[in-house]
Structure 1
Amino acid sequence: MDRTEPSPWKKTILAAMTSYIDAGSIVAGAAGLSLWQAYLGMDGYQMGALAALSSNAGSAAVGALIGGRICDKYGRKFVYTYDLLVYIIGMLLIVFGVNYPMLLIGYIIVGLGVGADIVASWTLIAEEAPAENRAKHCGSAQFAWALGPAVVLLISAWINQFGIIGNRIVFAHLIIVAAWVWYQRLKMPESKDWRAAKEAEEKLIAEGKVEKMSYSTILSGINLKTVLFLCGVYSVWNLCASTWGFFMPYIYEHVGNLSNSMSQLMSVGSFVISFIGTYFIFMRLGDKVSRRLLYLIIGGIYVIGWGVWVLPPEMLSMWMLVMFTVFAGINNGSGQQAFYQLWCSELFPTKYRATAQGLTFFITRIAAAVWGFLVPIIMSTLGFRYAAMLMVAFAFISWLVGTIGAPNTSGKTLKQIEIERYGHEVK
């Protein structure tokens, strides 16, 4: 091995930082939304377009779909060498935005870059991680995903008092982080698994013995079952999680009757609990105990947590809100998203691993975009309790699907898992 090649943990950390800038960009937008609305005079439709096309939804979905295919065709390094440059261009439009088109285009470009990078990064982490510590390495991305919002919210709480310039600075700090990560990644080699798979594929193509991958391959047979399983785990769960991420300060205030400062504190506290939970639960236990049991517990407390909001408002007490904050935080760090990232990388072969992950991520973010549009309508017409009932149902379905279908992959190499599932190595 080249002595200058980064260690597995350095590769993991550089790949995981995508989650920091992804979640950070989402929360930075949410934290400064009212400032931009006042600055640009945005109406409801313009704000809705920002939410639907941002890195939390539509543009990230498209970026993941495109990026996943490029990632399998041209390599993981090709994607993570250039996608952060796309992200930085979008961020610059936001930081220096003086009108709505600049802001909207910036949000779209940021989402495209984030979506592509997430697929490449999560795939690379799984392929470079030691089999016996794959959950620990994959969990680092989830740790960064919780750390980003916590840092952004803390910075925003202090600097947003300066108005729109404060929110510009929050976005600018993400440019600095992205630029540093991009520079460090230039030194990273291509995934060994991808190189080996690509060489084998090209040899077989030259001999006329193999067909090139198409989406029909992913949407048939065992692959279709895997896609449905992962969407049942992650896409359904994300309907709750996206609501939690975007609307919780509002819900804490208007349903939980908390002050604005207390609602912000609860939101920050939940993200802090997320990265603590990621480290001490998923990263420390994911390779040592039954993953089915771990999923059963972490998914179960999420159902209980959302059940709090089904109660009549007059029955809600502070300890119930704290319980929801803790349970949601633990689940966010060690629950469905962490398991999805791990299982999606394990259950598909190297040949189309990133493409499959891009497809499932696309489905998840598109569903989140549609649901994000519907939630305010449901809350305003039927009341928040009805929306909460749907959240409980979504959390329960996700919990049930993951608990029943949890695969036994602990400690196995990706090649071993591939042979067990397909009966042979996929070429």
Structure 2
Amino acid sequence: MSTKQQSTWTKTIVASMTSYIDAGSIVAGAAGLSLWEAYLGMGSVQLGMLAAFSSNAISAALGALIGGYICDRFGRKLVYTYDLVFYMLGMLLIVFAVNFPMLFAGYCVVGLSVGADVVASWTLIAENAPAKNRAKHCGSAQVAWALGPAVVLVMSVILGGLGLLGNRIVFAHLIVVALITWILRLRMPESDSWIANKEKEQELIAKGLWRKPRMRDLFIGPNLKGVMFLFGVYTIWNLCAGTMGFFLPYIYEKVGGVSNATANALTVGLFLTSALSTLTLFMRLADRYSRRVIYRVVACLFIAAWSIFLLPEQSLTMPLLVTFAILVGINNGSGQQAFYQMWGSELFPARYRASAQGVLFFSARVFLGFWSLCLPVITESFGFKVAAIFLVAFATISMLIGTIFNPNTAGKTLEQIEAERYGSVGTSPLSVNEQTGEQPQEYMAT
């Protein structure tokens, strides 16, 4: 392996650790929520505030929106370098919390940091990855995303006898991982793609041939097509994934009729299956074979998984619950999120790349928040089977959109993809027709 290849994989692995500490923070919060509730005497309002502003909801959504804008305006490295400092400060507040304001502040700071960091890291992975192996590099983040919750759940079981102290230790281990990642990041350079784009942009602006990018540009022309496509693929899919992330223990226990220990074991198995799926399917196949076929097959497995809960409750035997965990695990590792992470960088020019991901990440978390409010009401009023009908519908819509409009981007450089989508005159300064000096037209110039 060449030095260049080693350097590329080093960048990828360091960036991927964001997914470990992001997903780990979400699961650590869920695993210890009842312990914090008892320790601080929290009521339903305080519990709702923690859920709404955690790494899985509003604070992460806002962090992604803000972080994406900063990444495109001032560089990936600015967010990439300093964001984890705030993450560690937020984690320290949680680890040493002795009252609700400390705990809540920690959740908010961690959530904001996670949202910004995911956008920066996922963008950097795609920009640094070789065109022929982009899926392989992007998949590394999905492996880390699965391992984070798996490790946290195993630690929570092992340290369960320590009570709240055990949960504090689980959070503390994420600080250690973040510190190591931050130290490694200090040596990492800025994205070459962003530097080249910024230099070209400044040159064209000085000549009067371009203007500074604006957030509203994401909602016109080819940018809008990309946003709408990924909204259908990821945001709608995330309604199912978010349901799994927050309500899965409840579903296993209340609908499947298993014990809490069994529910946790099934969840660990799900995440381990996710990691294995990414390694054996997405990372090995998505650069070499039809992405449309891979996407359709794996997305259909997700539909089949949620369809299990359309069966009568007495039919939900352990083999069916294990089947659900396996099918969802395969989808989590090689399905919509893996493709979204890759497409989120491929389908937008460098000047809008992180901002677009920030907007999409924001929408996914906000819509999930609304759905999370509706789901308990639907379940309580009509039973979980009705909720499962909605989940199957969401999974089906996401499958159809991703299959029908699947972009042909495999093996192409980001610059090639940009030229195909935007032509010689487009939203990227790299696509301005320099031979004629043609001023960007229509939505590009207004």
**What TM bracket, shorter-length normalisation?**
over 0.9
Distance in 1 between the 2:264 and 2:371 partners? 23
Distance in 2 between the 1:158 and 1:247 partners? 22
Distance in 2 between the 1:250 and 1:412 partners? 44
Identify the residue that residue 27 of structure 1 maps to in structure 2. Answer: 27
Identify the residue that residue 121 of structure 2 maps to in structure 1. Answer: 121
Q: Deviations over 1:106-150 (max 9, x none)?
A: 101001000000000000000000000000000000010000000
Kept after mapping to 2: 8 A contact 1:5/1:188? no
Q: Deviations over 1:15-47 (max 9, x none)?
A: 010000000000000110110111111111111
Q: Deviations over 1:328-368 (max 9, x none)?
A: 00001110000000001100011110011111111001111
- How far off is 1:314 after superposition? 1.3
Q: TM-score, normalised by structure 2?
A: 0.94
CA-atom RMSD in angstroms: 1.2
- How far off is 1:377 after superposition? 1.8
Distance in 2 between the 1:315 and 1:13 partners? 43
Identify the residue that residue 359 of structure 2 maps to in structure 1. Answer: 359
Identify the residue that residue 386 of structure 2 maps to in structure 1. Answer: 386
Identify the residue that residue 156 of structure 1 maps to in structure 2. Answer: 156
Distance in 1 between the 2:310 and 2:43 partners? 31
Q: Aligned to 1:236, what secondary structure does the other structure show?
A: helix
Identify the residue that residue 80 of structure 2 maps to in structure 1. Answer: 80
Distance in 2 between the 1:251 and 1:407 partners? 35
Identify the residue that residue 349 of structure 1 maps to in structure 2. Answer: 349
- CA pair 185-333 structure 1, distance change in 2 beyond 3 A: same
Distance in 2 between the 1:380 and 1:329 partners? 27
What residue ranges of structure 1 are gaps of 5+ in the alignment?
none
Q: Aligned to 1:7, what secondary structure does the other structure show?
A: helix
- CA pair 264-124 structure 1, distance change in 2 beyond 3 A: same
- How far off is 1:374 after superposition? 1.9
Q: Aligned to 1:351, what secondary structure does the other structure show?
A: coil
Identify the residue that residue 102 of structure 1 maps to in structure 2. Answer: 102
Please say which of residues 17-26 and 258-267 is displaced more in the overlay.
258-267
What residue ranges of structure 2 are gaps of 5+ in the alignment?
430-446
Question: Aligned letter for 1:251?
Answer: I
- Asked whether 1:282 is paired with 2:282, we answer yes
Q: Deviations over 1:154-174 (max 9, x none)?
A: 000110221111000000000
Distance in 2 between the 1:359 and 1:392 partners? 25
Question: Aligned letter for 2:237?
Answer: W
Q: Aligned to 1:212, what secondary structure does the other structure show?
A: coil
Distance in 1 between the 2:250 and 2:226 partners? 36
Distance in 2 between the 1:40 and 1:311 partners? 40
Identify the residue that residue 183 of structure 1 maps to in structure 2. Answer: 183
- How far off is 1:49 after superposition? 1.0
Identify the residue that residue 200 of structure 1 maps to in structure 2. Answer: 200
Identify the residue that residue 334 of structure 2 maps to in structure 1. Answer: 334
Q: Aligned to 2:159, what secondary structure does the other structure show?
A: helix
Please say which of residues 41-50 and 184-193 is displaced more in the overlay.
41-50
- Asked whether 1:137 is paired with 2:132, we answer no
Distance in 2 between the 1:213 and 1:181 partners? 31
- How far off is 1:4 after superposition? 10
Q: Aligned to 1:350, what secondary structure does the other structure show?
A: coil
Kept after mapping to 2: 8 A contact 1:94/1:107? yes
Distance in 1 between the 2:88 and 2:377 partners? 34
Map of 1:225-240 to 2, 5 A cutoff?
A: 225-240=225-240
Kept after mapping to 2: 8 A contact 1:5/1:189? no
- CA pair 207-6 structure 1, distance change in 2 beyond 3 A: farther
Distance in 1 between the 2:322 and 2:32 partners? 25
Q: TM-score, normalised by structure 1?
A: 0.98
Q: Aligned to 1:184, what secondary structure does the other structure show?
A: helix
Q: Deviations over 1:63-113 (max 9, x none)?
A: 000000000111111111100001111101000001111111110100100
Identify the residue that residue 66 of structure 1 maps to in structure 2. Answer: 66
Distance in 2 between the 1:375 and 1:242 partners? 11
Identify the residue that residue 89 of structure 2 maps to in structure 1. Answer: 89
Question: Aligned letter for 1:308?
Answer: I
Distance in 1 between the 2:375 and 2:289 partners? 37
- How far off is 1:6 after superposition? 6.9
Q: Deviations over 1:359-409 (max 9, x none)?
A: 111100111112122222221122111111111010000011101011010
Please say which of residues 258-267 and 309-318 is displaced more in the overlay.
309-318
Identify the residue that residue 10 of structure 1 maps to in structure 2. Answer: 10
Distance in 2 between the 1:195 and 1:376 partners? 47
